[in-house]
Amino acid sequence: MDDIYMRADALILNRIGNHLKTVRLKQNITQQSLADAAGVSLSSLKKIEKGEIGSFDSLLRVLRTLGKLDVFQSLVDEEQLSPSEYYELVHSIKAKHQRKRASRQFTPR
């Protein structure tokens, strides 16, 4: 497998579209059925399958409907903090929320 960073954007989009079409056909779903289930227009789905992905929202809907949304899992997971990063975060928050003390003694009026 060659480096994805060396591929042209158009080639990447084309491969994504072809892959989605293959998945749809393997699941025996028509374009119209997938478009309806995903809430996108038939013309949008046809463009996506050709690699003409103009709307990320439409792509997400199609991926979700095909059960392939997991390709973005690593992008939506929260990063785990190391113990030292967690310690620094907790102490920086505590430092910001330290109680401020009055500068003078209270005298009733």
Q: What percent of the chain has pLDDT over 70?
A: 84
CATH placement of domain 4-72: 1.10.260.40
At 95 the pLDDT is 62
Contacts 24+ apart (CB under 8 A), 46-53: 48/17, 48/20, 49/17, 49/18, 49/20, 49/21, 49/24, 50/14, 50/17, 51/10, 51/13, 51/14, 51/15, 51/16, 51/17, 51/18, 52/13, 52/17, 53/13, 53/16, 53/17
pLDDT digits (tens, 9 = 90+) for 17-50: 999 999 999 999 999 999 999 999 999 999 999 9
Question: Nearest 5°: phi and psi at 40?
Answer: -120, 160
